Amino acid sequence: MRSFKSNINQCASLITRNVRAANTIYPRTMHEYETRRDYQNAAIVNCEQLINELQRVVEIFDVDLNLYNRYVKAIDREIGLIKRWRQRDMAIKSRLEKRVTSKNCVVSSANFANVNNNGNTNYNNASNSNGVRPDSSINQRRRRCYPFRKDK
């Protein structure tokens, strides 16, 4: 009986630990989103493990099923809450994906000379015949709207 009690306590502790760990992360990057999602998934797995442990106790010992059902309903409710939490996080994921996509499309004049995190430098062929010409979408719109310069 002690091993069952220990297993049940351990599962309950892991649920709490994983939910708290997921709750401490507000994702600002895809990596943080994935880490938070992993903690949420681990909490759901721990809930399922807890239900399995309770089922084993019911099968082995003479336990009141009404008492058991009350705990299973509470655990199922917890699983539902975590799943809804994950669904709400999908909005964060889509926002992060849009941010990553928009960052990949940015043309920057500052990108012609780089210093990497290991100290290496790169001029990205700024001195060749292609040269460096910053060209943003704002300048392109301006040229379309005002193709000729008016002198005063």
Q: Which tokens hold the place of 62?
A: 């003479």
Q: Parallel, antiparallel, or unpaired: how do β-strands 121-122 and 114-115 relate?
A: antiparallel
pLDDT band at residue 119 under the 50/70/90 scheme = low
Backbone angles phi, psi at 88, to 5 degrees: -65, -30
CB 42 within 8 A of CB 14: yes
pLDDT single digits (tens) 76-111? 999 999 999 999 999 999 899 887 665 555 445 555
SS3 assignment, position 114: strand
The mean pLDDT of 33-50, rounded to a whole number, is 96
Provide the pLDDT for residue 146: 46
